Amino acid sequence: MIFTVAVDGPAAAGKGTISKALAARFGLAHLDTGLLYRAVGAKGGDAVAAARGLEPADLARGDLRSLEAGAAASRVAAIPEVRAALVAFQRDFARREGGAVLDGRDIGTVICPEAEVKLFVTASPEVRAHRRWLEVGGDAAQVLAEVKERDARDMNRADAPLKPAPDAVLLDTSDLSVEAAVAQAAALIESRLQGA
């Protein structure tokens, strides 16, 4: 069975948590595509060469969840040659036998426009900043400013801007528990699997 679930959304909306839970629940492979960009940004140097030479071990770095790695990821993701180098990897993963869940910012619009399920997970900037602050600490006002700055950069980049696919289902997690958000997403997948 080839079955792709594309989960897009801004930073700290819950897409990674939801994606991992869905993959486990349905026995699908999972790829956090943001890790690819975080790894390229964290490697430093020539971003295009780093993207072309990316290896699985690069995704296991301990510093990929830091605010610095997130900011670096957003910067390198705006480079068309970096995006092109990582597209084939993501598309191959998405259409693997057994099905896959991919989360990122352009999965439903660019990487897998043919995905059987497309979710756009979002939450208010304030809720997302608070979640990120709980995760990484620091100054709460600074974290909010960084979330808003990253949103602007991701939504306004020329190549593959962050936006919901026209046929994506919007899932606002601002007032949802993790369990409730996963349940809503799982119900959508169940209905698509039954129709497949």
pLDDT in tens, 117-155: 999 999 999 999 999 999 888 999 999 999 999 899 889
pLDDT in tens, 41-78: 999 899 999 999 988 788 888 899 888 888 898 889 88
Q: List binding-site positions.
A: 9-17
Element (H, E) at 76: helix 67-77
The arithmetic mean of pLDDT across residues 175-185, rounded, is: 96
Where do the structural domains in the chain lie, given as residue ranges? 4-195
- Residue 196 has what pLDDT? 58
Q: Say whether domain 4-195 belongs to CATH 2.170.120.12.
A: no
Q: List binding-site positions for ATP.
A: 9-17
What are the structure tokens assigned to 110, written together? 């660019």
- Residue 136 has what pLDDT? 85
Closest CA to 53 of 63, 43, 68: 43
Position 18 pLDDT exceeds 90: yes
Element (H, E) at 30: strand 29-32
